[in-house]
Amino acid sequence: MMNAGHIDLSKYRKEFPFTKEIVFLNHASFGPLPEKSWRATEEYYKYLRLKNMADADKEAFQILDNTRKLIADFIKANPEEVAFVTNTSYGLNVAAGGLDLKRGDKILLSDVEFPANVYPWTNLKQKGIETKFIPSRNRCFDIDDFVKAIDKRTKVLSISFVQYFNGFKNDLETIGKICEENDVFLVVDGIQGIGSVDLDVKKCKIDFLSCGGQKWLLSSLGTGFFYLSSEAKRKLNPCFFGWMGVDWGLNWTDLLKFDLKPFTSARKFEIGTFPYSLLWSMHASLQLLSQIGIKNIEKHNWELLNLLIDYLNDSPYQVESSLEPLHRSSILSFSGKNIKRLYEKLIKNKILVSFREGSIRVSPHFYNTKGEMERFVQML
Ligand SMILES: Cc1ncc(COP(=O)(O)O)c(C=O)c1O
């Protein structure tokens, strides 16, 4: 009973003790911290901040390197193309602030983007850079409309990997090809997909991707990363620059060196001391996800959502998400009469989902069981 798809759930359920009391189907809002990741944070504090107080720079930087590597594996990039940030927005601002954009240049966005991927771009208005919203169709990004919107002034498309409220997975492979052909810099907000949906940033020709760790990566608030492709590196300058952007070779005894060269890797954009305790736990969470495998997670989540779709197809509710395999993710939304009341009833009964843009949004992760899904469907 504890097996679903390829995942032996009995190995992992203990990492999420709250599952004894609540059914958590809300990873598109925030992900829980696995027990082992919490222990990693505790260990960091005990070892380095409460008791031992050892100066463990080598160990710390090794964990950072390993974490960059785990992230790179998830998105099929090189670790040198990965840098840490504190949230998705910070990374998107690195792109918006670092591109060499001029008065009259144009940024394209979908009109159903999460605001984190809007404000960094509209903020460029003060420099005379225009943001144009491509109207969505059925609340989904339409590639033909995107192609029509491209003109000589278009320099950037910034788009979500997976749309936050209906889980629409954008066809980044096709979008990336179009961007390359038209010399448009492709920025992706990855937070609603990375950790539960497979992505190959190279195949999709993504120039830049930003992703907070707090949702599908089951990491602490205040963690995240961005990817900058080595081909696109020359197009981006650091809008902030700090002492962690240059290579000290782990030697902190002689710091009055003001002429060190920036890293050639994405670390050039990392500016100061890292939130070690958070990255310690992120490292543990990524290890867990990588042990299970993103493709297995994706398959598992689809199977769970299929149970819901089967029910919804024969119910008074309407599925608001695309069911085309190319556009499916780990998020499914549905609407219907008195939907807000239903949402409130679910929350009261400790079945946690979210309510977004008029629909109930359901977002299971790898440790959710068929039994939990059936309980949810029964409540409907
Ligand atoms: C698509 C998308 N982007 C970004 C965010 C959050 O951005 P940040 O990590 O900067 O808080 C969310 C949700 O909170 C989201 O759904």
3-state secondary structure the chain: CCEECCEEHHHCHHHCHHHHCCEECECCCCCCCCHHHHHHHHHHHHHHHHCCCCCCHHHHHHHHHHHHHHHHHHHCCCHHHEEECCCHHHHHHHHHHHECCCCCCEEEEECCCCHHHCHHHHHHHHHCCEEEEECCECCECCHHHHHHHCCCCEEEEEEECECCCCCCECCHHHHHHHHHHCCCEEEEECCCCCCCCCCCCCCCCCCEEEEECCCCCCCCCCCEEEEECCCCHHHECCCCCCHHHECCCCCCCCCCCCCCCECCCHHHHCCCCCCHHHHHHHHHHHHHHHHHCHHHHHHHHHHHHHHHHHHHHCCCCEECCCCCHHHCCCCEEEECCCHHHHHHHHHHCCEECEEECCEEEEECCCCCCHHHHHHHHHHC
Spatial distance between the Cα atoms of 331 and 301, rounded to a whole number of angstroms:
9
How far is ligand 1, taken at its centre, from the CA of residue 316, in Å?
Answer: 31
Which CATH class, in words, describes the domain spanning 57-290? alpha beta
Residue 317 clears pLDDT 80, i.e. is over it: yes
Mean pLDDT, all residues of the chain: 95
pLDDT tens across 320-364, in order? 999 999 999 999 999 999 999 999 999 999 999 999 999 999 999
Residue 10 clears pLDDT 90, i.e. is over it: no
Probe residue for ligand 1, chosen from 85, 109, 164, 210 as the CB with the greatest number of ligand atoms within 8 Å: 164
Probe residue for ligand 1, chosen from 189, 196, 356 as the CB with the greatest number of ligand atoms within 8 Å: 189
Order across the sheet with 318-319: list the strands.
318-319, 332-335, 359-362, 354-356
How far is ligand 1, taken at its centre, from the CA of residue 45, in Å?
Answer: 28
Residue 210 clears pLDDT 90, i.e. is over it: yes
How far is ligand 1, taken at its centre, from the CA of residue 116, in Å?
Answer: 6
How far is ligand 1, taken at its centre, from the CA of residue 2, in Å?
Answer: 32
Cβ atoms of 158 and 179 within 8 Å: the answer is no
Residue closest by Cα to atom 4 of ligand 1: 116
More confident residue, 8 or 111: 111
pLDDT at 1: 37
Read off the pLDDT of each residue in 309-318 and give the average, rounded to a whole number. 96
Read off the pLDDT of each residue in 187-210 and give the average, rounded to a whole number. 98
CATH 3.90.1150.10 fits 3-25+293-379, yes or no: yes
Q: What are the structural domain ranges in the chain?
A: 3-25+293-379, 57-290
Residue closest by Cα to atom 8 of ligand 1: 88
- Say which residues have a Cβ less than 8 Å from residue 92's Cβ, sequence separation at least 6: 116, 117, 120, 158, 187, 189, 210
pLDDT tens across 242-280, in order? 999 999 998 888 999 999 999 999 999 999 999 999 999
pLDDT tens across 11-49, in order? 899 999 999 999 999 999 999 999 999 999 999 998 887
How far is ligand 1, taken at its centre, from the CA of residue 252, in Å?
Answer: 35
pLDDT at 5: 55
How far is ligand 1, taken at its centre, from the CA of residue 44, in Å?
Answer: 27
Q: Residue 92 CA: which ligand 1 atom is closest?
A: 10
Q: Residue 113 CA: which ligand 1 atom is closest?
A: 1
How far is ligand 1, taken at its centre, from the CA of residue 114, in Å?
Answer: 7
Residues flanking ligand 1, CB < 6 Å:
87-89, 114, 116-117, 160, 164, 189, 191-192, 212
Probe residue for ligand 1, chosen from 27, 88, 161, 168 as the CB with the greatest number of ligand atoms within 8 Å: 88
pLDDT at 2: 45
How far is ligand 1, taken at its centre, from the CA of residue 88, in Å?
Answer: 6
Residue 4 clears pLDDT 90, i.e. is over it: no
Residue closest by Cα to atom 16 of ligand 1: 164
How far is ligand 1, taken at its centre, from the CA of residue 9, in Å?
Answer: 28
Query: At 292, is the pLDDT very low, low, confident or very high (cuts 50, 70, 90)?
Result: very high
pLDDT tens across 48-80, in order? 877 777 777 788 899 999 999 999 999 999 999
